[in-house]
């Protein structure tokens, strides 16, 4: 069985407070993006993971951890061979590893008829990472808590196209969180995105930008370049390093950036 774990971007990201358990309460809007890895699972004599594409540590991979997490409660889960073809870059703010883990849980549930309900899959996913539960739902969601309290939302983006730019820089999420000073905001992200996109530039913020841009001015330049190209809104995704711009579909974009970047256009119709 083969699935295609997709990535996400964040429309705004507010770090509200540091919790006693060491995590942070936040709010954001997760938006699924049709840029994918490839994951295949087949029955085998022993459980192993093969990785192709971008380099990944196969010895401590979320796909393997997802399998062994389920095996604790399903000891009869048979051995499998997983093949992960990695396309979504690491440390990019796109949630690729979290997506791989969530899709592994769902694929194992389907393949071996474990009969886990969505709520149970979300619980397993949260044990693997704060972003993982989103990929179980995999629809536009307003997220709070650690990112696991998810409220599906309707957001009409059919008249826009997204350009996602990745500069090939790996941003460590723990480092990024350590640099952020939590702060509450008077206006919630869910209120901001209900307004016209043209108003987002002045209100919709990602709290990771200050630290990431200070450490990596070349990432800040990407955001500025996207606005220069006519983006109605541009932002860092997650803790970075990817930056996205939202453009009118009629806009003719010539942005190429440095040759080491990947630039991908996506639409939602």
Write the DSSP symbol of residue 79.
P
Would you name the residues annotated as active-site residues?
8, 131
Domain total of the chain: 2
User: What is the 8-class DSSP label of residue 61?
Assistant: -
Distance CA 52, CA 81 (A): 14
List the one residue out of 176, 193, 146, 191 whose CA is nearest residue 11: 193
Do residues 84 and 45 touch, judged by C-beta distance below 8 A? no
Residues 180 and 108 in one domain: no
Whether 16 and 99 map to the same domain: the answer is: yes
Task: Specify whether 13 is located in the same domain as 116.
Answer: yes
* Domain boundary, last residue among 152, 174, 195: 152
Query: Of 152, 172, 203, which residue constitutes the final position of a domain?
Result: 152
Do residues 62 and 80 share a domain?
yes
Structure token pair of residue 177: 């969180």
- Answer yes or no: do 208 and 118 share one domain: no
Task: Give the end of a domain, one of 91, 117, 152.
Answer: 152
pTM of the predicted model, to two decimals?
0.94
Tell me which residue range forms the domain holding 237: 160-267
Together in a domain, 132 and 179: no
Residue in 250, 254, 94, 233 with CA at minimum distance from that of residue 158: 250
Give bridge partners of residue 3 from the DSSP assignment: 39
- The per-residue pLDDT string of the chain (269 residues; one tens digit each, 9 = 90 and over) reads 999 999 999 999 999 998 888 889 999 999 999 999 999 999 999 999 999 999 888 778 999 999 999 999 999 999 999 999 999 999 999 999 999 999 999 999 999 999 999 999 999 999 999 999 999 999 999 999 999 999 999 999 999 999 999 999 999 999 999 999 887 777 999 999 999 999 999 999 999 999 999 999 999 999 999 999 999 999 999 999 999 999 999 888 877 665 455 677 887 65
């Amino acid at each position: 069985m083969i699935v295609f774990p997709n990535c996400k971007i964040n429309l705004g990201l507010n770090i509200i407070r540091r919790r006693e358990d060491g995590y942070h309460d936040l709010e954001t809007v997760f938006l699924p993006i049709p840029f994918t890895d490839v994951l295949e699972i087949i029955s085998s004599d022993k459980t192993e993971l093969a990785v192709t594409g971008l380099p990944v540590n196969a010895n401590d991979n979320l796909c393997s951890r997802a399998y062994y997490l389920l095996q604790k409660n399903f000891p009869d889960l048979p051995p499998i061979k997983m093949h992960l073809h990695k396309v979504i870059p690491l440390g990019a703010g796109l949630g690729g590893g979290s997506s791989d883990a969530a899709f592994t849980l769902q694929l194992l549930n389907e393949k071996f008829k474990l009969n886990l309900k969505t709520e149970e899959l979300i619980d397993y996913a949260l044990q693997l990472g704060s972003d993982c539960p989103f990929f179980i739902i995999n629809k536009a969601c307003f997220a709070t808590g650690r990112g696991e309290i998810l409220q599906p939302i309707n957001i009409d983006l059919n008249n826009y196209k997204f350009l996602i730019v990745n500069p090939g820089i790996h941003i460590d999420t723990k480092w990024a969180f350590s640099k952020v000073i939590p702060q509450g905001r008077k206006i919630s992200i869910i209120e901001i995105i209900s307004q016209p996109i043209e108003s987002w530039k002045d209100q919709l913020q990602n709290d990771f930008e200050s630290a990431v841009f200070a450490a990596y001015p070349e990432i800040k330049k990407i955001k500025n370049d996207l606005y220069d190209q006519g983006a109605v809104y541009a932002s860092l995704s997650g803790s970075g390093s990817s930056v996205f711009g939202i453009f009118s579909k009629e806009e003719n974009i010539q942005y190429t950036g440095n040759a080491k970047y990947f630039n991908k256009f996506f639409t939602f119709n």
